Amino acid sequence: MGAIVFFWQERQRLYYLLPDVASAQEMMDELLLARIEARHMHFLAKRGTPLDDLPEASVLQKTDIVPGAERGMLIGGVAGLLGIEQGQILMMVDVPVGKAQAIHDLVESKHPEAASRGVDATYTAFP
């Protein structure tokens, strides 16, 4: 009988505020091409905004925004919440620590409409 091997990977959560659902969809497509799986992307919009095929943030992810803001991204967190109320889309993407800067650079170069709203602490993720 073979051994079961678990693989843990350290990740960071990046936050971006996007102007609309179309921009969020383009961002998701770009991140998929960069080999970030859809299960590591979470989108939050004003209640009633149809997200189409975008993976919606879970209740846990939605409630983690305020504590995340308290941990060091207060200005970005508050701006993100205000942006959501104005119809913008908040994207949370969990990336391997070693890819965080490359993903940030990709977002800045290909999606200038995306406003960075902070980086959350490193954590260990299960596959």
Q: Residues 35-81: pLDDT tens digits?
A: 999 999 999 998 899 998 999 887 666 665 555 544 545 445 555 56
Which pLDDT does position 58 carry in this prediction?
A: 77
Residue 7 and residue 42: Cα distance in Å, rounded? Answer: 22
Q: Pick the residue with more confidence: 10 or 22?
A: 22
Indicate if the pLDDT at residue 98 is higher than 60.
yes
Q: What is the mean pLDDT of residues 108-116?
A: 93
Percent of the chain exceeding pLDDT 70 equals 70
Residue 38 and residue 29: Cα distance in Å, rounded? Answer: 9
pLDDT band per the 50, 70, 90 thresholds, residue 10: confident
- CB atoms near residue 83 (< 10 Å): 20
Find the domain containing 21 and state its range: 17-121
Q: Is residue 127 part of a domain?
A: no
Q: Is residue 9 part of a domain?
A: no
CA dist 38 to 45, 67, 93, 123, Å?
Answer: 17, 24, 9, 18
In this prediction the pTM is: 0.78
Q: Is residue 105 part of a domain?
A: yes
Looking at the 3D structure of the chain, how many domains does it have?
Answer: 1
Q: Is residue 10 part of a domain?
A: no
Q: Is residue 59 part of a domain?
A: yes
For the record, the structure tokens of 45 come out as 């919009």
Q: Is residue 2 part of a domain?
A: no
Q: Is residue 25 part of a domain?
A: yes
